[in-house]
Structure 1
Amino acid sequence: MNLHTLLATTLLHSLTSAQQPSCSPTLTASYATPSVASGYTAHLIAQNLTSPRGMKFDSQGALLVVEEGRGISALNLVDGGNDCVSVGSRKLVIEESGLNHGIEVGEGGRVVYGSSGDVLWSWEYDPSAQANTSAPKALVTGMAGSDHTSRTIKLSKWAPGMIVIKSALSRGSFENVDPAAASMSSGHSQVKAFNISNVTSEAYDFNTDGVMLGWGLRNDVGIDEEPTTGRIYTVENSADEIERSGQDIHQNNPAEELNFLGYLNGTESSNQGRNFGYPECFTAWQPAGIPDFNGQVGEQFAVPLNSSNNDTTCDLANRQAPRLAFQAHTAPLDILFNPSGTAAWISFHGSWNRDSPIGYELSVVEFESGEPVAANTSRDAAVPIMSNQDLSACPDGCFRPVGLAWDSNGRLFMSSDSTGEIYMIVRTDGNATSSVGSNATGTIPGVTANSTRTGSGAATSSSAAAAGMVGASALAGVFAIFAFLL
Structure 2
Amino acid sequence: MKISALRSVLLPAALAGGAALLALVPAAPRVAPDPGNAGLKLPAGFGALVVAETGGKARHLAVTPEGTVYVKLNKPTTKGGILVLKPTATGKATVASGFGNYGGTGIYLKNGYLYASSDKDVYRYKLDAKGEVISPSQPELVVAGLKLGQEHESKSIVLDNAGNLYVNVGAYSNSCQVKDREKGSMGIPNCPVLDSAGGIWQFKADGQRQRQAQGTRYTTGLRNVVGLDWNAKDNQLFVMQHGRDQLHDIFPAMYDEKTSAQLPAECMYALKLGDNAGWPYIYYDPAKHEKMLAPEYGGDGKKAVTDKYIDPVAAYPAHMAPNALLFYTGSMFPAKYRNGAFIAFHGSWNRAPEPQMGYFVAFQPFKDGRPSGPYEVFADNFAGSAAKTASGRADHRPCGLAQGPDGSLYVSDDSKGTIFRIVYNK
TM norm structure 1: 0.69
The answer to whether structure 1 residue 407 and structure 2 residue 404 are counterparts is yes
The residue identity in structure 2 corresponding to 1:373 is S
Determine whether 1:275 maps to 2:281.
no
Answer yes or no: is the 8 Å Cα contact 1:414–1:422 preserved in 2.
Answer: yes
- Letter of the aligned partner of 2:404 in structure 1? D
Aligned residue in 1 for 2:175: 177
Deviates more, 1:408-417 or 1:34-43: 34-43
Contact 1:93 1:130 in 2 (8 A): no
CA distance in 2, matches of 1:25, 1:229: 36
Provide the residue aligned with 1:68 in structure 2: 74
Sort the Cα spacing of 1:101 and 1:189 in 2 relative to 1 into closer, same or farther, 3 A.
same
1:112-147 CA-to-partner distances (Å, cap 9, x unmatched) read 211111111122344649444162332222221221
Cα 1:333–1:397, aligned 2, differ >3 Å: closer, same or farther? closer
Q: Is 1:247 matched with 2:244? A: no
1:314 Cα offset (Å): 5.5
Higher RCO, 1 or 2 (CA under 8 Å, sep at least 6)? Answer: 1
Residue 75 of structure 2 aligns to a residue whose secondary structure is: coil
In structure 2, distance between residues paired with 1:236 and 1:105:
23
Larger Rg: 1
- Supply the AA of the counterpart residue of 2:175: V
Equivalent residue number for residue 363 of structure 1: 362
Q: Distance in 2 between matches of 1:59 and 1:34?
A: 26
Q: Is the 8 A contact 1:277 1:314 kept in 2?
A: no
| 2:153 alignment partner, one of 149, 154, 176 | 149
Unaligned runs of 5+ in 2: 1-26, 178-187, 331-337
More deviation in 392-401 or 249-258?
392-401
Aligned pairs for 1:103-114 within 5 A: 103-107=107-111, 109=112, 111-114=113-116
1:303 deviation in Å?
1.8
Aligned length: 363
Partner Cα separation in structure 2 for residue 346 and residue 216 of structure 1:
21
Partner of 2:415: 418
**Measured at CA, do residues 44 and 343 of structure 1 come closer, stay the same or move farther in structure 2, by a change above 3 Å?**
same
Q: Distance in 1 between matches of 2:350 and 2:296?
A: 23
Q: CA RMSD in A?
A: 2.8
Q: TM-score, normalised by structure 2?
A: 0.78
Closer, same or farther: CA 145–428 of 1 in aligned 2, 3 Å: same
8 Å CA contact 2:31–2:423 kept in 1: the answer is: no
**Contact 1:74 1:130 (8 Å CA) reproduced:** no
- Out of 332, 342, 345, which is 1:345 matched to? 342
Q: Determine if the alignment matches structure 1 residue 99 to structure 2 residue 100.
A: no
Matched, 1:260 2:258: no
Deviations 1:83-128 (A, max 9, x none): xx112x32233232x2211011233x3x221111111112234464
Q: Equivalents in 2 of 1:150, 1:403: separation in Å?
A: 13
**Partner in structure 1 of residue 316 of structure 2:** 326
1:456-475 pair list within 5 angstroms? none
Displacement of 1:205 in angstroms is 1.9
Cα offset for 1:45? 2.1
**Equivalent in the alignment of 2:166:** 164
Counterpart check, 1:191 vs 2:200: yes
Q: Measure the CA separation in 2 of the matches of 1:112 and 1:118.
A: 17
Counterpart CA distance in 2 for 1:129 and 1:255 is: 39
Deviations 1:182-202 (A, max 9, x none): 3486212010211133x24xx
Cα 1:231/1:358, change in 2 over 3 Å: same
CA contact (8 A) 2:108 2:116 kept: yes
Q: 1:25 to 1:368 in 2, by over 3 A?
A: closer
CA–CA distance in structure 1, aligned partners of residues 224 and 124 of structure 2: 24
Task: Give yes or no for contact 2:226–2:322 (8 Å, CA) kept in 1.
Answer: yes
After superposition, the Cα gap between the structure-2 partners of 1:312 and 1:358, relative to the gap in structure 1 and judged at 3 Å, is closer
Amino acid at match of 2:174: N
In 2: Cα distance, 1:402 partner to 1:212 partner: 26
How many angstroms apart in 1 are the aligned matches of 2:301 and 2:214? Answer: 32
SS at match of 1:393: helix
Q: Is the 8 A contact 2:319 2:347 kept in 1?
A: yes
SS in 1 for 2:156: strand
SS of corresponding position for 2:275:
coil
One-letter code aligned to 1:144:
L
SS across alignment from 1:251: helix
CA distance in 1, matches of 2:306, 2:225: 20
Amino acid at match of 2:61: M
Q: Which moved more, 1:309-318 or 1:36-45?
A: 309-318
* Code of the aligned partner of 1:329: H
Question: How far apart, in 1, do the equivalents of 2:41 and 2:32 lie?
Answer: 20
Distance 1:43 1:236 in 2: 29
Percent of residue pairs bearing the same amino acid type: 24
3-state SS in 2 of match to 1:282: strand
Q: 1:130 to 1:90 in 2, by over 3 A?
A: farther
Q: Structure 1 residues 95, 188: CA separation in 2 closer, same or farther (over 3 Å shift)?
A: closer
The 1:129–1:347 alpha-carbon spacing in structure 2 relative to 1, beyond 3 Å, is: closer
